[in-house]
A = this chain, B = another copy of it.
């Protein structure tokens, strides 16, 4: 069948700001629905293949989710000497779980996502993302508010991975980006535990969300390491931050990262290795300054929202 220019007639419009909009051509809409919390779509884009789209924002794409998920999970997992109990807040696609379970030391991975419909849709439409990780006997999947879960259960984890959707205005995720939540996270970590937070855009002229998250973590944890990686389908640098009482990503040399990957991880990684680890931690001068100058502390009474 022809694939002429007239076939590019449906487009996903992503307003990155009032002054910038990205248009992604849509080949096919595989699923489109509305949960209690957000609109959910599975869209096959011309540029990045099949994507999960929540509230109109691409969450991850078939073509480069490996960059996001490897970068989110492995630095903290490898910084920990032998993570057994892991907690995932969010992570609906199941790809974060997939990376966590690739660590041979893991005995239990508890994933708490608020939106059962998102997980159902991902299980059905994104098999290459979750790769049946939900069926792994070490995985425990719960549908609840992650903050409430941690408050109620008072469990302790070696690693906590905060993989939540953007704190859009009115989004339920907003109260999971606050000082109070990070204090709860610290209480839920074992003494030598470590947390990683997906931390919004780190390359954009407007870094407000990223630097505020890093700064807020610094008011809770003694060691905080922001890092960043380029995600093509986000058309941006993406920020993360690890936080811990004792563990520090900067202590890991490239060689040590490579050594730990080969002894502890059961699958081949595509984006992450020792040199990638180094590169993630190095920010250009102008971004370093912005991080240093951060003053905002995000609290329950004054949460952030991104555009």
A273 to chain B, nearest CB (A): 5
Asked if A1 contacts B34 (CB within 8 A), the reply is yes
Asked if A271 contacts B283 (CB within 8 A), the reply is no
Please indicate the chain B residues that have their CB under 8 angstroms from the CB of A273 in the complex: 285
A residues contacting the other copy or chain, number (CB 8 A): 71
Partner of A286, one of B18, B237, B270: B270
Number of copies: 4
Judge if A219 is at the interface, Cβ distance under 8 Å.
Answer: no
Segment among A25-33, A117-125, A129-137, A187-195 that sits at the interface with chain B: A25-33
Asked if A5 contacts B23 (CB within 8 A), the reply is no
Please give me the residue from chain B that is nearest to A272 by CB atom: B285
Asked if A19 contacts B46 (CB within 8 A), the reply is yes
Please give me the residue from chain B that is nearest to A1 by CB atom: B34
Q: Which one of A23, A170, A269 has the highest number of Cβ atoms from chain B below 10 Å of its Cβ?
A: A23
Please indicate the chain B residues that have their CB under 8 angstroms from the CB of A57 in the complex: 9
Judge if A266 is at the interface, Cβ distance under 8 Å.
Answer: no
Judge if A292 is at the interface, Cβ distance under 8 Å.
Answer: no
Asked if A48 contacts B205 (CB within 8 A), the reply is yes
Asked if A282 contacts B279 (CB within 8 A), the reply is yes
Q: What are 8 A-B contacts defined by CB distance under 8 Å?
A: A11-B13, A18-B25, A21-B22, A23-B23, A67-B286, A275-B284, A279-B282, A282-B282
